[in-house]
Amino acid sequence: MFNCELKKIVSLCLVLFCSCLVIGVKSAFAQVIKEIEVAGNKTITSREIIAVMEVRKGDEFNEDSLNEDIRNIYNLGFFEEVSLEVEPCKKGIKVIFKVEEKTLIKRIDFKGNKKFSNKKLQKEINLKEKESFDRKKMEEDAEKITVLYKDKGYADVKVESFTTTQEKEGLVILTFFITEGNRIIIKGINLSGVKEFPVKKILKKMKTKRKKVYKEELLNTDLKELELFYRQKGYIEVEILESRINYNPERTEMYIEIPINEGHQFKVEEITFSGNTVFEGEFLKKKFGVFSGKIFDEKKYQKGIMNIQSVYAEKGYIRMEANPQKELDRERKLVNINFEIIERGRVYIDRVYLEGNTITKEYVIRRELLIKEGDPFNVGLIRRTQEKIYNLGFFEDVKVDVEQTDVLDKADLVLSLVEKKTGLASVGAGYSSQDGVLGTMQVSQTNLLGRGQKVTLLWEFGEKKQNYEIGFFEPWLFGTRSSFGCNVFDTVRIKDYVYTEGDLEKTDRYKEGRRGGDLRVGRRLSDKYSTSLTYAYEEVEIYDTDSEYMQSQEGIDTTSSITEYFARDSRDNIFDASKGSKNSISVEVAGGILGGNNNFTKGLFSSSWFFPTFWRFVLGFHGEFGRVEEFGSSDEVPIYERFYVGGAESVRGYDYRGQIGPSEGGKYMTVFNVEYKFPIVMERGRTILQGAIFADVGGAWLTKDAIDLKIGSKDGQMKSGVGAGIRFKTPVFPIRLDWGYGLNHKDSVVPSNRHQWYFTIGQVF
């Protein structure tokens, strides 16, 4: 009994003691910082170090804040180690930041350099004065200087690096000693063993040329290209032996000898497959693309292997192996290709993970997925899903990774997303080739609250245009594949009416006011097909006219119309397509039972195709055809509903109106464009500045009988233009600057008016 009571008393005392200890510790750490000191610094002043710290005298002791300051000091990049000590002082505590400085570079010297200046060499290397010394970087910089000299033909150059340390100051002097040697030029290239091709043809395949400087990396690349050339021509056993280099006594000239053992040219005899159960052998042969009786082509052979792997991957067999074996019959000069297919099992998607979407709601992304959890892996659908998510316009990059799970036939799909700016609030000025200088006040968001909705508030004001516009678009109405959009607008434009009087081309102006809005509903029928129905109502007023013809058009008309639109879009990137196509047709009916005093039908067909050529060079084709006709009580199609060809969106090199087709507009129209785009500046694997060369042709006519598809300068004939331009991708929209030259202007048009500059937003097609 007594022992139990004693144990309770002892336990209580221990609890009280621990509580007092904790309170005491907390009290100690709650003390005020009275002094801050930096120790160990030699070249970096204490003031510079304290400037990056958040803790100040008078603050309460906080371990997290002090640890953050240690990181801030370390991030300056001048210190090997940073540590903290705490000492008691009068009415508080003192914190001491102890630092160990890195060795800094006092000076960088270059010795022996004559070909390149010190300034040029300094730009070439990474190490800089007053920065931390790094021996590995010093070695890398010596190699960079060596490469610089060798690229200019100094094949014998030697670069040595040394350091001199000043212990008291804690500084180092870095010196590069350069022995340049002579500049060596290639005097001759000898290809020995070449029998089946002209030597000149082989030499043309090489970038290493006579009378040029020798570059080892370039020669190695040339030798690989020569080997590929031979293998594409059926010389499977070709050998490009080690090249030999000889110098003249002065070591100013070199002779390169490249021994080549060509071997025999082989034809394909038979292609067989074993182990395949998913696909028939005949099907795989067609996909392989290398056929019996043809000369063996290494490039087609490698592409064929990838094709076979691709068709399996689209069925979910992402772990399959296609192991081809080549059996050579040297006497008959034939090759048999035998594929051993190891199919393994089908792999299914276990989980789909999204990473990086901090603003965009997860359901906005998941509704674009063409594959679901539990589906077999389909590389084609995954690739298309990647394109669809990027085409939302909310992301700078979309990457796909596959992660293996504990179950052999299941894997996770990870989509790594990099979001971009989707909102715009701006007040500024711009320039349009059609509307001149424009002031703008705009608020737009293409991913409202991360839900994928688009809203736009716009006010444009300038010499030739006043515009107010409000718009909203919901791409997934009530969570379905249907869409809804609406717009309200009030626009006044000053437009040019260009006409010919005698041999002179004259221009008058008039004002066109449009006020109205539209409602549209759409439906995605599949991944590629979509349709929409739009009802639009607007009042159009023509006033302040100059010409006699336009005075007859003055007044206010109302247009009430319904437009049916159908499209097939397989482009990989709707903002800058490199492959695929977009084909669309629309039919608009205005008037009749819909009301309004304009009665017409308008049909438009558009087709755009994109083909990758090499690297990121893309060839694009576009064709457009239109027809508009009046009906019912309307005698004519209004001038503002007719077709006008010319300008930035159709045939460049001509005015927007008057130089192609009738001055009062046409009822029939056709336009063709060819454009070849290529990258100029790239960032993170995507093109942000690209160039383009183009050719356009088009025409407009009032009647069927007037249609003339010949290209020429006569009235009624189609007109053509050529030119070049640049496209700059901004986070919100692409900007385009084109220069076009018209090839079929009338003789009366002065030379200065035969070419045009166009500054616009968006792609041509």
125 Cβ contact list (under 8 Å, min separation 6): 108, 141, 144, 145
pLDDT tens per residue, range 660-717: 988 888 999 999 999 999 999 877 667 888 999 999 999 999 999 999 999 999 888 9
pLDDT of residue 329: 92
Residue 382 has pLDDT above 70, yes or no: yes
pLDDT tens per residue across span 142-160: 999 998 998 888 888 999 9
First to last CA, the chain: 97
Give 262-321 pLDDT, tens digit per residue.
Answer: 999 999 999 999 999 999 999 999 999 999 999 999 999 999 999 999 999 988 898 899
Structure tokens at 680: 């100029």
pLDDT-derived band at 20 (thresholds 50, 70, 90) equals: very low
What's the pLDDT score for residue 721?
95
Pairing of strands 92-101, 33-39: parallel
pLDDT the model gives residue 433: 55
Percent of the chain with pLDDT over 70: 91
* pLDDT for the residue 429: 57
Instruction: Please report the pLDDT score of residue 442 as a whole number.
Output: 75
3 pLDDT more than 50? no
Inform me whether the pLDDT recorded for 32 exceeds 50. Answer: yes
Separation between Cα atoms, residue 709 and residue 668, nearest integer Å? 12
Helix 216-232 vs helix 298-313: angle between axes, to the nearest 10 degrees? 80
Residue 436 above 50 pLDDT? yes
Sign, CA torsion 386/384/423/360: negative
Mean pLDDT of 466-484: 92
**Rounded to whole angstroms, how far apart are CA atoms 4 and 8?**
6
Q: Please check whether residue 393 is in contact with residue 422, taking contact to mean a CB–CB distance below 8 angstroms.
A: yes
- The pLDDT-based confidence of 593 (bands split at 50, 70, 90) is very high
Are 723 and 740 spatial neighbours (Cβ–Cβ below 8 Å)?
yes
At residue 711, the pLDDT reads 94
DSSP-derived secondary structure for 161-192 = EEEEEETTTTEEEEEEEEE-----EEEEEEEE
- Tokens representing residue 54 in the block: 């958040």
pLDDT of residue 423: 75
φ, ψ for residue 351, nearest 5 deg: -135, 150
- From CA 572, how far away is CA 617, in angstroms rounded? 15
What's the rounded mean pLDDT across residues 68-76? 85
Banded pLDDT at 24 (limits 50, 70, 90): very low
Residue 17 — very low, low, confident or very high, per pLDDT cuts 50/70/90? Answer: very low
In contact, 473 and 447? CB cutoff 8 Å: no
| Helices within 347-392 (DSSP H only) | 362-366, 379-391
Amino acid letter for position 497: Y
pLDDT at 25: 39
| pLDDT over threshold 50, residue 734 | yes
Report percent pLDDT > 90 for the chain: 45
Structure confidence at residue 169 (pLDDT): 66
- As a whole number of angstroms, the distance between CA 459 and CA 541 comes to 20
Reported as type and span, the H/E element at residue 708 is strand 708-711
pLDDT (tens digit, 9 = 90+) per residue, 392-413?
A: 888 888 888 888 888 888 889 9
pLDDT at 650: 92
Give tens-digit pLDDT for 91-102.
Answer: 788 888 888 877
Tokens 């045009």 -> residue: 756
Each residue of 485-509: pLDDT tens digit?
Answer: 999 999 998 877 766 666 666 677 8
CA count, 13 A, side-chain hemisphere, 143: 6
Structure tokens at 55: 């803790």
Q: What is the pLDDT of residue 15?
A: 41
Report residue 340's pLDDT band, with 50, 70 and 90 as the boundaries. very high
CA distance 684 to 397: 9
The string of pLDDT tens digits covering residues 648-663 is 889 999 988 878 988 8
Which one, of 639, 539, 630, lies nearest residue 591 by Cα? 630
Contacts of 279 (CB under 8 A, 6+ apart): 311, 312
Q: What is the pLDDT of residue 524?
A: 92
Whole-structure pTM over 0.75, yes or no?
no
Residue 505 to residue 496: CA distance in whole angstroms: 12
Q: Answer yes or no: are the C-beta atoms of 431 and 407 closer than 8 Å.
A: no
pLDDT of 762 above 60: yes
Q: How many CB atoms lie within 10 A of CB 440?
A: 15
Task: Convert the pLDDT of each residue in 522-571 to its tens digit.
Answer: 999 998 999 999 999 999 998 888 777 677 778 899 999 999 999 999 99
Listed ranges 17-21, 350-354, 726-730; the one with the highest mean pLDDT: 350-354
Rounded CA separation 246/101 (Å) = 51
Measure the CA–CA gap between 758 and 649, rounded to whole angstroms. Answer: 9
| Average pLDDT in the chain | 86
